[in-house]
Amino acid sequence: MGTRIVDVRQLPAWQFQPLLEAESQAWLEDLHWNYSASAELISAYLEERRLTGFALVEEDTVRGYCLYFREGPKGLIGSLFVRPANSQRDGIDDLLAESIGALIRTPDVLRIEAQLPHLSLDQLGPFFRSRSFQIYLRQFMIFRLGTAALEPLRRNPETSPTQTSVIPSDFVFEPWQRRHDREAAQLLHQVYRHHIDAAVNDQYCTIAGTTRLVESIVRHKGCGDYMEQASIAAIHRSTGRLAGILGITAVRKGTAHIPQIAVASGYQGIGLGSTMLRTAFEKLARERFTEVSLTVTTLNSGAVRLYERLGFRTFREFGAYVWNRT
């Protein structure tokens, strides 16, 4: 029968199990991320025929799949994985072509986004470039926790020699709890709406979008298991306003991740972000975490330089892909 592309709803969920196990192993090895909970959720939704996408079937074996979904006028590529055969790219373009084509043929889909950090720009860039997608290089960075590693954070690299740090007496650090979510969404919108990250993810463009982002992190485990006690809401003492937020999640044993960090414009450049990171990292180290990861858009060069000064190192690069209907 050879290789064919099949709607995922035409196949029983059990046929995807070896593929999902291979995908989970790839995430663990390449991104230091335990993907098993996501794989279990995908399997359950496949069983219920709730997912849209295509599978690459060779004989009776599912060798790859691509899932996509709608969020209002936006389409998203949610998952893409192909087990290597003669080439890691083998089958990827076909799966993407079917999924992207289905979205583009839907008239009310005005935008498509895809971020697939386990697949490199070399693997996916040629396909998306040929379909007139904008491509943004992103970096997966990691920080090794330890006493010596925390020293750069104690020096507040955000502050210039002429600035005086107002940390910590002007701010109160509280665990980021549900009562902070509304202000957190407003802060993310204020900080990122005209930022390069809003071009990558248009949720930053509206408060409704940043509200969904916050919900995804805090409530829906969109970026791992949310760690409330390690996450920080920085409150400006004299005004009571939310000045900064730092979200921390656990993505595997010993590895934490930063899905969001933001400092309000009036409080940037004084060391608040570095102090939030140091405070959270000291707590994580006490809880036997050994590393913390984050992702950053390469065009956000100021953030990249800051993270490098703090001790983060890039261990993987990948693309963010965006298409807008014209």
Q: In the structure encoding, which two tokens stand for residue 27, read together?
A: 């995430």
Whole-prediction pTM = 0.92
**Token digits for 156?**
């507040």
Coil, strand, or helix at residue 147? coil
Give whole-number Cα distances, 35 to 29, 39, 50, in Å. Answer: 11, 6, 20
Q: Tokens standing for 255?
A: 């590895």
Find the mean pLDDT for residues 317-326. 97
Which of 73-77, 79-83, 163-167 is least confident? 163-167
Neighbours of 54 (CB within 10 A): 25
CATH number of 3-132: 3.40.630.30
Write down the pLDDT at residue 2: 77
Residue 167: band (very low, low, confident or very high) from pLDDT cuts 50, 70, 90:
low
Q: What is the pLDDT of residue 84?
A: 81
Residues of the chain with CATH 3.40.630.30: 3-132, 140-315
Among 80-94, 177-191, 246-260, 291-305, whose mean pLDDT is lowest?
80-94
Q: Output the pLDDT for position 196.
A: 97
The CA distances from residue 56 to 40, 51, 84, 172, 190, in Å, are 20, 15, 12, 53, 42
CATH of 140-315, one of 3.40.630.30, 3.40.50.720, 3.30.950.10, 1.10.275.10: 3.40.630.30
Confidence at 168, pLDDT banded by 50, 70, 90 = low
At position 107, the amino acid (one-letter code) is P
Local structure of 177: helix, strand or coil: coil
Non-local (6+) Cβ contacts of 320 within 8 A are 113, 114, 115, 135, 136, 138, 200, 201, 297
pLDDT at 158 over 90: no
The mean pLDDT of 237-249, rounded to a whole number, is 97
Cα(324)–Cα(201) distance, rounded to whole angstroms? 12
Residue 251 Cα distances to 132, 162, 293, angstroms: 33, 39, 9
- Residues 116-130 have pLDDT tens digits of 999 999 999 999 999
Express each pLDDT in 185-232 by its tens digit: 999 999 999 999 999 999 999 999 999 999 999 998 889 999 999 999
